[in-house]
Amino acid sequence: MEPVIELNNVWKIYKTGSIETPALRGVNLVVGRGDFISIMGPSGSGKSTLLNIIGLLDKPTRGEVRLAGRDISKLSGREMAYYRNYYLGFVFQRFNLVGRLTVRENIELPLIARGVPRSERLRMVVKALSMAGGDESWLEKKPTQLSGGQQQRVAIARAIVGNPLILLADEPTGNLDRASAKVVMETFQALNSRGLTIVLVTHDPEVANCSERIYVIRDGTIIESREPVKSRCITKTVGG
């Protein structure tokens, strides 16, 4: 399988005065096109730092990070912004929707940044919302008029509206009840079946078991790679 993410001996060290605190310690990871992996670990283990580096929200202290074959470790700020907008989609625990905007306006934000004409944007928004398990009736509503699970589906639609190469999800079910989390994970599985590469960070084993590979990180190092137990995926254990 063609690799779309490659990390080679990646370190991230935070400095406070003369004190150095390693968040990542020589991480090696390869993610192939169309893979669906989850990264698990306790709080402070480095999993969110790892996701931020893959997502070009942070740079490694040393080591190589390759995205779609290109070394992105030393990109300029402008180049990093380009890769984030065209190659990556992000889903966060707290949804990160803009409260004063409608659902339609939230989803089309990445398209506006790309300069997509208004006439094209609505078609793309409707398609993305449908793929994320949402409903057209939500389009002119504000996020606060939707449930948490519905808001997360809007956030997923925003993440995929530009047809990214990779979807990065940081604790996407952390603020949801179990039934809503089940719907979100069913959505991720459906998107992955269409060929979307997904990297998901979670502390929840039932969520991790919905992926195709689980990596366990502790003290900034990947200590284990294992197959998921599909029968313990949340889509099987809640109402399934």
Instruction: Please name every residue paired with 66 in a beta bridge, in sequence order, or none if there are none.
Output: 6, 71
* Alpha-carbon span 190 to 222, nearest angstrom: 27
Residue 150 has a CB neighbour count (10 Å cut-off) of 21
CB neighbour class for 141 (10 Å; exposed up to 12, middle 13-18, buried from 19): middle
Mode of pairing for the β-strands spanning 19-32 and 213-218? unpaired
**Cα 172 from chain centre:** 8
What is the CATH T-level fold of the domain 33-56+77-237, as seen in this structure? Rossmann fold (3.40.50)
Query: Per residue of the chain (240 residues), what is the pLDDT tens digit?
Result: 789 999 999 999 999 888 999 999 999 999 999 999 999 998 889 999 999 999 999 989 999 999 998 898 778 888 888 899 899 999 998 899 999 999 999 999 999 989 999 989 999 999 999 999 999 999 999 999 999 999 999 999 999 999 999 999 999 999 999 999 999 999 999 999 999 999 999 999 999 999 999 999 999 999 999 999 999 999 988 765
SS3 96: coil
CA atoms within 13 A on the CB side of 202: 27
**What type of residue is 126?**
V
Residue 31, both tokens: 């993610």
In 3D, which of 15, 38, 11, 41 has the Cα closest to residue 27? 11
**Model pTM score:** 0.94
**What type of residue is 59?**
K
Instruction: Please name every residue paired with 12 in a beta bridge, in sequence order, or none if there are none.
Output: 24
Helices 148-160 and 178-193: angle between axes, nearest 10 degrees: 20
What Å distances lie between residue 196 and 88, 121, 163, 176, 204, CA to CA?
11, 21, 9, 23, 22
* Alpha-carbon span 96 to 181, nearest angstrom: 17
